[in-house]
Amino acid sequence: MNRRTALIALGAGFLTLGGWWTLQQQTSTQLPPIGAANAQDAADVDTSGIVEMTLGDADAPVTLVEYASFTCPHCATFHEGPFKKLKADYIDTGKVHFIYRDVYFDRFGLWAALVARCDPDRFFGIGNLLYSQQRDWLGDGDPSAIVENLRKIGRVAGLDNERLDACLADNDKARTLVAWYQQNAEADDIDSTPSLVIDGQKYSNMAYEELSSILDEKLADE
Instruction: Give yes or no for a contact between 43 and 37, defined as CB atoms under 8 angstroms apart.
Output: no
Per-residue pLDDT of the chain (222 residues; tens, 9 = 90+): 444 344 334 433 422 222 333 333 333 344 444 444 444 467 788 888 999 999 999 999 999 999 999 999 999 999 999 999 999 999 999 999 999 999 998 899 999 999 999 999 999 999 999 999 999 999 999 999 999 999 999 999 999 999 999 999 998 899 899 999 999 998 999 988 999 999 999 999 999 999 999 999 999 987
Instruction: Determine the pLDDT at residue 5.
Output: 40
Closest CA to 97 of 189, 221, 199, 204: 199
Instruction: Give yes or no for a contact between 109 and 69, defined as CB atoms under 8 angstroms apart.
Output: yes
Closest CA to 98 of 185, 180, 217, 196: 196
Q: Would you list the DSSP string of 144-203?
A: HHHHHHHHHHHHHTT--HHHHHHHHT-HHHHHHHHHHHHHHHHHTT--BSSEEEETTEEE
Please check whether residue 179 lies inside any domain of the structure: yes
Instruction: Determine the pLDDT at residue 145.
Output: 94
Please check whether residue 219 lies inside any domain of the structure: no
Instruction: Determine the pLDDT at residue 44.
Output: 81
User: Domain range for residue 49?
Assistant: 3-212
Instruction: Determine the pLDDT at residue 191.
Output: 86
Q: Which letter, b or e, does each residue of 180-191 get, where b requires 16 or more Cβ atoms within 10 Å of its Cβ? A: bbbebbeeeebe
Sequence-ordered alpha helix ranges (H) in the chain? 3-16, 73-80, 82-86, 107-116, 123-132, 134-138, 143-156, 161-168, 171-187, 208-221
Please check whether residue 133 lies inside any domain of the structure: yes
Please check whether residue 37 lies inside any domain of the structure: yes
Closest CA to 108 of 170, 168, 49: 168
SS3 at position 88: helix
CA distance 107 to 89: 34
Q: What is the CATH number of the domain that holds 190?
A: 3.40.30.10
* Total domains present in the chain: 1
CA distance 88 to 90: 6
Residue 151: which region, alpha, beta or left (left: phi > 0; alpha: psi -120 to 50)?
Answer: alpha
Instruction: Determine the pLDDT at residue 120.
Output: 95
Instruction: Give yes or no for a contact between 70 and 109, defined as CB atoms under 8 angstroms apart.
Output: yes
Closest CA to 158 of 135, 202, 125: 125
Please check whether residue 218 lies inside any domain of the structure: no
Q: Which amino acid belongs to residue 196?
A: L
Please check whether residue 189 lies inside any domain of the structure: yes
